[in-house]
A = this chain, B = another copy of it.
Amino acid sequence: MIGFMPPAHLVVAVDLVVFTIRADQLHVLLIERGNPPFHGKPALPGGFVRDTENLHAAAERELHEETGLNGHDFHLQQLGAYGEPDRDPRGRIFTVAYLAIVPDLPAPLAGTDASDASWVPVTQAHGLAFDHDQILADALEAARVRLEYTTVATSFCPSEFSVTDLRRVYEVVWGRPIDPRNFHRKVIATEDFVVPSGNKRAAVVGRPAMLYHRGSATRLNPPMLRHSEP
């Protein structure tokens, strides 16, 4: 069943790797495919680029359709293009992958037409349709690198967060523990990484944490290097 060939303007799609953190675990947004090919298999959300929209707009539209998010309360950046000739059995379809980082949604996926979408821990996200396993792996590595050199970690957090919240982001994405005292020093010393909100967290136990908003900085200089092991 190779017969299907989409019209020219439907040869390019965008696929989204949407990351969030829930219950101290990195989750990725997946859909269950309702049509062939790969019927019933999990896949990254995505869709074809429309005639009048550019790639970024297409990614934003898909993200809105799947999560209800819009405006600028998320991080969205292009990862790269994928175009193996046989990546889609329907024919020659290229896809441009986007990495999205969103905070843990209070009413997750509410008001969306994507009731088939669900958050899956990345550790359990295998066997995806198409080449989405590869795209997901590339996205995970890209996210880890971007935490080193940029301030995107704050995009995982809600508007108000503590330094410990931010540290959890790094620990979850990197998969390794970080010394709380050194991390605190680094975050506070980095100009415009976070700005104090003036509030304190109601303590469940222990000293209440000071709360912050994300600052205006985007680059981390000097970077927060994870010491890579083979």
Contact = CB atoms under 8 A, between A and B. Distances in A.
How many copies the complex holds: the figure is 2
Interface in A174-230: 219, 221-223, 225, 228
A138 B198 CA distance: 39
Contacts of A92: 8-9, 51
A221 B145 CA distance: 13
A108 interface: no
A91 B91 CA distance: 21
A96 interface: yes
Contacts of A228: 219, 221
A97 to B, nearest CB: 9
Interface string A58-99: 000000000000000000001011111100000110101000
- The SS class assigned to the A binding surface is loop
Nearest to A228: B221
A84 B225 contact: no
Interface residues of A, number: 30
Contacts of A49: 83
5 contacts: A11-B11, A12-B12, A54-B85, A94-B96, A219-B228
Given A8-B92, A219-B228, 6 more contacts: A51-B85, A55-B81, A94-B94, A94-B96, A221-B228, A223-B223
Nearest to A5: B8
Interface in A80-132: 80-85, 91-92, 94, 96
Contacts of A225: 221-222
Contacts of A219: 228
A225 B219 CA distance: 13
A81 B49 CA distance: 13
Contacts of A96: 81, 83, 94
A40 interface: no
Nearest to A12: B94
Contacts of A11: 8-9, 11-12
